[in-house]
Chains A and B, each alone.
Chain A
């Protein structure tokens, strides 16, 4: 199939308006005849479900947690961008668009990003109307801050809990629709498969996580908003239940997976304490404004930080990047920290950490000033590590934070399966090879509140649907059968290793070879390591309990089984992209300044992968990206 992104014709700034006019509308009286399934209740899923119901569609909304309010969007801290230009500092839709395309290292679609920047303003208006308690100044107007190196103040925030407040806003809109019967809620359900009828997405097979029953649901269209796949690395800043299963099942049913190797690694996380670490905690990057990053010059130096004299410290970021110093971008900071640890210069018990030292800043500004800026972060650090960062330097290490790759979608957010739409982190569309700070919340809500309500109508109005009877349709029966077989298979291996052991091992392989820096040799090695691990999994995993009960080990086993296949897809993608860009850094392709070196002539495209069978190499499809409005540039931080 040739990929058609369906980008509307016309000037960039008019595409979305023109497209909305051209899209066919569903007659208001007919909307109630359509049913739509939404999987996921994060920012994208909850906003989509609520808004579609407001329009008059009947919505079935699924989530794996006990309540829609738990989705992992809740953990986003920093803020949400919008091109409001309230600060009068030169921001505009065009500038937000430009910054996002450039930040994505020119691997995102211009038209999608421009639309995102346009809609950013509507999001803030709507969220304020919902009662989101954004920060305000004394005059009562909304406050903005500059975030993630942006040169304008365009980030709206609610303390360090912006994601929580925005999600609770979307959740409350959703609850309102549940109360009037327009949304039917299915919590503690996990999507196990997508059901296609006549080649169109028409329903789901889900597992009821309380009773273990396999259930089926039908609809006229299916919307996936199931988040990112960062947990393929085992340790990430994602919630424990974040997984790739829903997206991967759709991939196996024919939806192409785009740019899976584009993952973002955040430099300022709290380091791993040991084998049984279950997740990593992010701290705001703003810490690098005043903290100095260093390691001992001598590998294996076990002295306490205060006993290491100035002359025996290596402030490696300041030395290597004299003009940006500790403020180099996320990926550069992360890569250099790992490089130091790989040389044996890492600190802390595990040797997987670098110091972030505030003693100079405290000497210069006083403890009160530093506490005023970072007090809550210092408290959080002390709570988790038991160490006082006013007295001893913090220890930090990079961690997987966000995945830019996802299911391929066109301008309408529809995947290569007709009737299957993908929103939020689960799709690939707007962040290119690298996401800017405060852009994830913006994208999730733009997709849910303001894009899907229009584009899904265009699909429904133009499509004829056959009648589906869930109870006796062969497609649904087949779906149940496949899911049941897979569950039985997981339970019957009865081997000797736990699911977590496999997950940890997979995570380490990917972290070492498909993490913040990659090379062909390592990737090829990882490919065979993952295959071996996957074969061992199906021969030697042990999953306790039964299928017809609440069984968290079984849930986890299914997710890890998918990660074991998905990891291979990531590596294939990384191997095929013979350039460096954004989060994908192949050591063979770098500038003299150790910057990612793009190859715009050969790789200015989206790589979309088509499933061809288990243990088969997926087929490659290319969507060429053309940049008509911005000039491709090379970044430099020296």
Chain B
């Protein structure tokens, strides 16, 4: 029978705004209910720090149900922790044992400058979408929704790619800090659908160019991104991006 509460040692990355170098600081998380989520465990530590007149650990989070993509940290070397297809907010403490030491660090990538503690600036991902991650349609002019039949399996395949939550774990997991999985998910989603075809060539070129300009690395098929993606996005999407990109370049 597992105990209902556990005690942990945390080593957490602390770095003030504008500070050149951060450091790992040690905290003790006591009487953590195993039913808590990882973020609730940090809440407890923060509450404790506050009571001791110390500044709590800054970390991004919002929906706490695994869909907004706001949270994320590297936990013991794994992005969003070690559970498969799980965001940090959906990682529960029953997957840890009493007495464990947990190292918590921010996403690390040149394209994600650190803001404070575990918070990084992921606006580069928005910039990539701005470069072409849309279908150019204004409100008001659309034909009837059923005017264009799209085979069920095509819609389903597009949906699988569209499930990306933009958390940036793929970048953090990649040894090259490449954003290929993120970019390919959006390219695939839109290229698979007939509505997205007219702009497909322009889109893939613009998005890949923007990815390079933002300082992300190149893809060398390490496949770490696929393993760590909390939404199970597959590198099949990268293959599809490559085909789209080549088609665009040679036409």
Contact = CB atoms under 8 A, between A and B. Distances in A.
Interface centre among A65, A68, A136, A384 (most CB of B within 10 A): A136
B55 A545 contact: yes
A125 interface: yes
A175 B43 CA distance: 33
Interface in A402-453: 449-450, 453
A72 B65 CA distance: 11
Given A66-B60, A544-B54, A131 B189 contact: yes
A142 interface: yes
Contacts of A273: 33, 35-36
A75 B65 contact: yes
Given A65-B70, A128-B145, A161-B163, 9 more contacts: A66-B122, A74-B63, A140-B155, A172-B133, A175-B133, A175-B134, A178-B126, A449-B139, A550-B17
A5 to B, nearest CB: 25
A133 B166 contact: no
B214 to A, nearest CB: 14
A131 B193 contact: yes
A535 B154 CA distance: 59
Size range of the chain B interface in the assembly: 35 or more
A161 B151 contact: no
Nearest 9 CB-CB pairs, A to B? A140-B149, A172-B134, A129-B142, A133-B159, A273-B35, A179-B130, A125-B142, A128-B145, A239-B63
A278 interface: yes
Contacts of A553: 50, 56
17 contacts: A54-B139, A69-B166, A72-B68, A126-B137, A131-B190, A133-B159, A133-B162, A140-B155, A164-B67, A165-B159, A173-B134, A175-B126, A239-B62, A544-B55, A544-B56, A549-B116, A550-B115
B219 interface: no
A550 B33 contact: no
Interface string A120-140: 001011111111011111111
A276 B33 contact: yes
A124 B145 contact: yes
Contact of B150 (A74, A140, A161, A550): A140
Interface stretch (B73-81, B86-94, B169-177): B86-94
B215 interface: no
Given A176-B134, A176-B136, A273-B33, A133 B64 contact: no
A276 B36 contact: yes
B158 interface: yes
A273 B92 CA distance: 12
Given A65-B70, A67-B166, A75 B63 contact: yes
Contacts of B86: 383
Given A187-B123, A278-B43, A384-B90, A161 B149 contact: no
B70 A544 contact: no
Contacts of B227: none
Contacts of B126: 67-69, 175, 178, 185, 187
Contacts, number: 216
B130 A175 contact: yes
Contacts of A211: 17
A136 B121 contact: no
Nearest to A67: B126
B125 to A, nearest CB: 7
A130 B133 CA distance: 11
A550 B134 contact: no
A389 B224 CA distance: 33
A542 B68 contact: no
B92 A383 contact: yes
Contact of A130 (B115, B135, B148): B135
A19 B219 CA distance: 55
Interface of B: 16-17, 33-37, 39-40, 43-44, 47, 49-51, 53-56, 58, 60-65, 67-70, 86, 90, 92, 94, 115-116, 119, 121-123, 125-126, 129-131, 133-146, 148-152, 154-156, 158-159, 162-163, 165-166, 189-190, 193, 195-196
Interface in A509-559: 542, 544-545, 549-550, 552-553
Contact of B130 (A51, A168, A178): A178
Contact of B47 (A135, A385, A498): A498
B116 to A, nearest CB: 5
Interface of A: 47, 50-51, 54, 65-72, 74-75, 84, 86, 122, 124-131, 133-142, 158-159, 161, 164-165, 168, 171-173, 175-176, 178-179, 185, 187, 210-211, 239-241, 273-274, 276-279, 281, 383-386, 449-450, 453, 498, 500, 542, 544-545, 549-550, 552-553
Nearest to B206: A179
A185 B127 CA distance: 11
A166 to B, nearest CB: 11
A550 B119 contact: yes
A206 B63 CA distance: 23
Contacts of B150: 136, 140
A240 B56 CA distance: 17
B136 to A, nearest CB: 6
B47 A240 contact: no
B7 to A, nearest CB: 15
Nearest to A158: B159
A65 B195 contact: no
A421 B129 CA distance: 28
Nearest to A84: B145
Contacts of A173: 134, 137, 139
A572 to B, nearest CB: 30
Contacts of A127: 145
Given A86-B146, A128-B145, A500-B47, A137 B56 contact: no
Contacts of A453: 139
A171 B164 CA distance: 13
A125 B142 CA distance: 6
A140 B149 CA distance: 5
Nearest to A277: B40
Nearest to A385: B35
Contacts of B141: 129
B60 to A, nearest CB: 6
Contacts of B68: 65, 69-72, 74-75, 239
Contacts of A84: 145-146
B68 to A, nearest CB: 5
B56 A125 contact: no
B13 to A, nearest CB: 15
Contacts of A68: 126
B195 A240 contact: no
A120 B217 CA distance: 43
B159 A159 contact: yes
Contact of A136 (B43, B56, B152): B152
A69 B138 CA distance: 19
Contact of A544 (B53, B123, B133, B146): B53
Given A130-B137, A140-B150, A175-B130, A544 B50 contact: yes
A276 B133 contact: no
Contacts of B189: 131, 133
Contacts of A47: 139
Nearest to B125: A67
B64 A66 contact: no
Nearest to A71: B68
Nearest to B33: A274
A278 B139 contact: no
A72 B193 contact: no
Contacts of A277: 40
Given A67-B122, A75-B65, A383-B92, A135 B155 contact: yes
Interface centre among B68, B125, B156 (most CB of A within 10 A): B68
A43 B64 CA distance: 19
B50 to A, nearest CB: 5
B58 A138 contact: no
Nearest to B120: A66
